[in-house]
Amino acid sequence: MFSSFQVSSFKFQVLLACVFLLLLSACKQKNPRDEVIARVGLRELTRGDLEKQAGLPLDSLPSAARWRIIDTWIERTLVDLEGARRGLDKDRELNEKLAALKSELYRSRLLGEGSAPSPDDSTIASYYQAHRNEFLQATDAYLVELYWAEDISKLMEFRQQIAKGDTTLLAQKEVAREGRWLAESGELEPDMEHELDSLNAGQMTDPRPYGDGFRSVYLIWKYPAGTVLRLDVVRDDIVGRLQIEASRQRQDRLMSTLRDRYPVEVLLKDSL
């Protein structure tokens, strides 16, 4: 006959064995994210790695996207392994370039977090008023738009329409706008300049053969030497200047913030 103590001890051992088996079974159950997708040498790309790179579950990725990620990983890993085999990971010059590239990527990301909005109209107008002398035209110039049509009759019709503010042929794509241009004296053919001199703002030159069709030049405004360019002409230039200045200010603020956060000391004073 077993004593009550022996029975209790036996039950405890059975329970312990069951717990051990459950733990062993749980250990054998792998996380699906640990599934190996590809292998190069001893390095492995797991399902979790792939999903992390893609930012999406594997099952939701199109086949082409999956293979693009896998192929990219294989190529990078092959190059990385070969570089390590040849000791390139210990090359001082390469490591300095990698550190510089890493710093620039970090800087770009940090600056991107505080990107300034595009300057508004009032800011642009204020800049224009404060810098008018910088937009002084040194030579005679013509602000023009170029128009092209395959059929000369369509271009002639457009000349009549645009004088009335009608751009129907543009909307119908019978005539194409090729762009706006501030042409300084000497940049155009002499006969074109002569014709523009004879026109008033809002008029177009006679059509001339160009490519497989015909081109006509629309005169928006004349700028004799010594006049200041209008705001609408220099607007894009001003926006570019303001964006560059805003970028410099963001960089200065970032460096100031980082210096406050991480105190800087230069100890080699005698060598400076």
Look up the pTM and report it.
Answer: 0.57
Helix (H) / strand (E) element for 174: namely none
Helices (H), the chain: 4-28, 47-54, 63-85, 92-112, 121-130, 152-162, 168-171, 190-197, 231-261
Quote the pLDDT of residue 132. 92
Tell me how far apart the alpha carbons of residues 59 and 51 are, in angstroms, rounded to a whole number.
Answer: 9
Quote the pLDDT of residue 247. 87
Quote the pLDDT of residue 122. 93
List of the chain residues with pLDDT < 50: 2, 5-7, 26-28
Quote the pLDDT of residue 95. 92
Quote the pLDDT of residue 7. 47
Quote the pLDDT of residue 215. 93
Quote the pLDDT of residue 157. 92
pLDDT tens, residue by residue, 181-210: 899 988 888 898 999 999 999 999 999 999
Angle at 38 between CA 35 and CA 43, to 5 degrees: 95
Quote the pLDDT of residue 152. 93
Output the six-digit token pair for 94: 């390469």
Whole-angstrom CA distances from 63 to 39, 57, 67, 226 are 19, 12, 6, 64
